[in-house]
Amino acid sequence: MLNGIENTVVKTHGLDELGIAREAPTHWNPPAPVLYEHAVRRGEGLIAEGGPLAVDTGVHTGRSPHDKFLVDEPCSRDRIWWGEYNQPMSEAAFDRIWERQRAYLADKELFVQDCYGGADPRFRLPVRIVTQYAWHSLFVRDLLIRESDEAALRDFRPEFTIVDTPDFEADPATDGTPSGTFILINLARKLVLIGGTEYAGEIKKSVFSILNYLLPLRGVLGMHCSANYGEDRDDVALFFGLSGTGKTTLSTSPDRTLIGDDEHGWGDDGVFNFEGGCYAKAIRVREETEPEIFATTRRFGTILENVVIDPKTRRLDLDSAALTENTRAGYPITHLPRADTRGVAGHPRQIFFLTYDAFGVLPPIAKLTAEQAMFHYLAGYTSKVAGTETGVTEPQLVFSPCFGGPFLPLRPREYAELLGRKIDRHEVRCWLVNTGINGGPYGIGKRIAMPVTRSLIQAALSGELDDVPARTDDSFHISRLASCPGLAAEVLDPRASWSDPEAYDRKAAELAARFRENHDRTRQA
């Protein structure tokens, strides 16, 4: 017992196998109520009205991509797509940090969760996550796939281990890191080290990166997408997109069943969720427009990151961006009324590439041929939404290959070729959906209303758009629809929505040039 909180099962295979000496308690796979008690006892968060745990991630309110490194070692060296997203670190530098981090852990109270990445038992990855914070352990328990069998937990052998210590930092002068923050992936040692950041999203994205390295070797495509299905598990739709483009919102639909909201695999038998929970943007979530997600912000077990809370009344202010625009709700998928807890389904019938176009140039929906789909998959165009990464305060144009460049250890064309074969084999219909600006560029135009986007998605899913005439636009590699049932022409045609059509033409030419420049770079990658 510790302060009235009972410790949990002693493990057969413990932290001694990692060389971590223990002089303080280690809590193995504690459930949510116990983690709540620890988090409150340690001053990590407050219990808000309705039951969620509200936490503040401090300086880091988003990912720190410039602090992520892959260890340059012989086993994986020739396969890695080295560059902006995969910076190399020497084995010696990794070992120096790990030696100091191990020593740091010796007298720290630790929390361990043994989980899986991947709902399909044939491809799931056993992962052990060792955290310094109780709420990070709850985050992992919410977001990954739990092992509920006690005997299996006692004998759990991780294939990868993630060690997360927000209060331990690297030394840039000796370690060669840009800052004290570090996210280090060692594929040979099957070990991930995270430090100097309280942002829990680094943990889940590390698991995603590992799966994106391992699974293509087995013919499984890792995808940065949400997924749902209609009347049966064979009516699957995928929603690709970077954070802030609407993956979670659009896939969480009252008339469809959610498979997962962020990361999936696509194998020979269909798609499967990599996770067991959801990580939704919480800023300005409305009960009227996003009732399912709104309800999770009032549930026990949900973690609210950087959501403003009144310390006296414990009431939430979901509209406030006082801490960051990137407020988040992390919750188990079981918090949603229509979610498939098995996390597996058939092959997709429809793929939607979501983009937040801050230029205000792209239509709210466009058809894509298979060739056009490959162009947009490799481009991964969007405008990075404020707060998603440290230092981003307003939308910035970005091309992120496969709609997930930061999480791709391999070269983009390896993923694209795998996706292309699957699209051809299963005759998947593809669409580009702009969830960004209409009526002018950012600062003048307005964001396309979510009900409009939902109606367009529904029209595509129901087949209403299949026979609508479309005009090929070679500048943007899309097929523009001539009409859409129930939608005004000026909404479907972005040029007509601008007060100055010539200004639209100039902005469109500017964006088209950026597409061409990116395409030339991508061909060389």
- Beta strand 68-71 with 87-89 is parallel
Instruction: Identify whether the C-beta of residue 224 lies closer than 8 Å to the C-beta of residue 205.
Output: no
How much is the average pLDDT of 422-447? Answer: 94
Confidence class for position 394, pLDDT limits 50, 70, 90: low
Quick one: pLDDT at residue 135? Answer: 98
Torsional sign, CA 250, 251, 257, 261 = negative
Q: What is the CATH number of the domain that holds 291?
A: 2.170.8.10
The one catalytic residue among 61, 177, 197, 248? 248
Contacts of 373-377 with CB under 8 Å at 24 or more apart are 373/423, 373/430, 374/416, 374/419, 374/420, 375/477, 375/519, 376/432, 376/477, 376/478, 377/240, 377/353, 377/402, 377/403, 377/416, 377/419
Phi, psi (degrees; rounded to nearest 5) at 226: -100, 165
Confirm whether 205 is a catalytic residue.
Answer: yes
Phi, psi (degrees; rounded to nearest 5) at 489: -60, -35
For the ranges 67-76, 95-104, 180-189, 386-395, the lowest mean pLDDT is seen at 386-395
Whether residue 222 has pLDDT greater than 60: yes
Q: pLDDT tens across 507-517, in order? A: 999 999 999 99
Based on the domain organization, do 379 and 396 belong to the same domain?
yes
Based on the domain organization, do 257 and 329 belong to the same domain?
no
Confirm whether 262 is a catalytic residue.
Answer: yes
Based on the domain organization, do 384 and 353 belong to the same domain?
yes
| Angstrom distance (rounded) from CA 498 to CA 483 | 18
Based on the domain organization, do 259 and 214 belong to the same domain?
no
Based on the domain organization, do 98 and 233 belong to the same domain?
no
Average pLDDT of every residue of the chain: 93
| Angstrom distance (rounded) from CA 60 to CA 179 | 12
Q: Would residue 49 count as lying in a domain?
A: no
Based on the domain organization, do 271 and 408 belong to the same domain?
yes
Q: What is the CATH number of the domain that holds 270?
A: 3.90.228.20
Q: What is the domain count for the chain?
A: 3
Based on the domain organization, do 385 and 520 belong to the same domain?
yes
Order of strands across the sheet that contains 348-355: 257-260, 225-229, 236-240, 348-355, 429-434, 365-368, 478-481, 470-473
- The pTM for the full model equals 0.93
Quick one: pLDDT at residue 13? Answer: 62
Q: Would residue 374 count as lying in a domain?
A: yes
**Range of the structural domain that residue 25 is part of:** 15-44+63-218
Task: Report residue 20 CA to chain centroid gap.
Answer: 30
How much is the average pLDDT of 21-37? Answer: 94
Based on the domain organization, do 326 and 367 belong to the same domain?
no
Closest CA to 404 of 333, 329, 354: 354
Confirm whether 243 is a catalytic residue.
Answer: yes
Boundary (domain end) residue, out of 187, 218, 249: 218
Boundary (domain end) residue, out of 335, 353, 383: 335
Whether residue 275 has pLDDT greater than 90: yes
Q: Number of helices and strands (H, E) in the chain?
A: 14, 31
Quick one: pLDDT at residue 2? Answer: 45
Q: At a CB cut-off of 8 Å and minimum separation 6, what does 122 contact?
A: 267
The one catalytic residue among 11, 205, 256, 384? 205
Confirm whether 248 is a catalytic residue.
Answer: yes
How much is the average pLDDT of 455-459? Answer: 94
3-state secondary structure of 256: coil
Q: What is the CATH number of the domain that holds 118?
A: 3.40.449.10
Q: At a CB cut-off of 8 Å and minimum separation 6, what does 468 contact?
A: 481, 482, 483, 484
Q: pLDDT tens across 404-413, in order? A: 999 999 999 9
Based on the domain organization, do 205 and 322 belong to the same domain?
no
Quick one: pLDDT at residue 390? Answer: 58
Confidence class for position 392, pLDDT limits 50, 70, 90: low
| Angstrom distance (rounded) from CA 346 to CA 234 | 5
The one catalytic residue among 68, 204, 328, 429? 328
Q: At a CB cut-off of 8 Å and minimum separation 6, what does 25 contact?
A: 2, 7, 109, 110
Quick one: pLDDT at residue 3? Answer: 47
Q: Would residue 503 count as lying in a domain?
A: yes
Closest CA to 365 of 249, 491, 474: 491
3-state secondary structure of 245: coil
Confirm whether 312 is a catalytic residue.
Answer: no
Whether residue 447 has pLDDT greater than 70: yes
How much is the average pLDDT of 12-16? Answer: 75
How much is the average pLDDT of 34-58? Answer: 98
The one catalytic residue among 136, 224, 256, 264? 224
Based on the domain organization, do 238 and 286 belong to the same domain?
no
Quick one: pLDDT at residue 4? Answer: 46
Residue that the structure tokens 């997408």 belong to: 225
Q: Would residue 148 count as lying in a domain?
A: yes
Instruction: Identify whether the C-beta of residue 126 lies closer than 8 Å to the C-beta of residue 268.
Output: no
Confirm whether 90 is a catalytic residue.
Answer: no
| Angstrom distance (rounded) from CA 153 to CA 26 | 15
* Percent of the chain residues topping a pLDDT of 90: 85
The one catalytic residue among 262, 340, 357, 493? 262
Based on the domain organization, do 149 and 198 belong to the same domain?
yes
| Angstrom distance (rounded) from CA 29 to CA 14 | 12
Q: pLDDT tens across 228-265, in order? A: 999 999 999 999 998 889 999 999 988 999 999 999 99
Based on the domain organization, do 142 and 289 belong to the same domain?
no
Whether residue 385 has pLDDT greater than 80: no
Quick one: pLDDT at residue 396? Answer: 83
For the ranges 195-204, 328-337, 339-348, 464-473, the lowest mean pLDDT is seen at 464-473
3-state secondary structure of 112: strand
Phi, psi (degrees; rounded to nearest 5) at 96: -65, -45
How much is the average pLDDT of 121-139? Answer: 97
Extended strands (E) in 230-298: 236-240, 257-260, 264-267, 270-273, 277-281
Q: At a CB cut-off of 8 Å and minimum separation 6, what does 318 contact?
A: 282, 283, 284, 285, 294, 297, 307, 327
Q: Helical H runs in 311-428?
A: 370-379, 412-426
Q: Would residue 478 count as lying in a domain?
A: yes
Q: Would residue 482 count as lying in a domain?
A: yes
Q: Would residue 474 count as lying in a domain?
A: yes
Confidence class for position 341, pLDDT limits 50, 70, 90: very high
The one catalytic residue among 11, 63, 141, 347? 63
The one catalytic residue among 243, 257, 296, 390? 243
Q: Would residue 97 count as lying in a domain?
A: yes
Boundary (domain end) residue, out of 335, 356, 380: 335
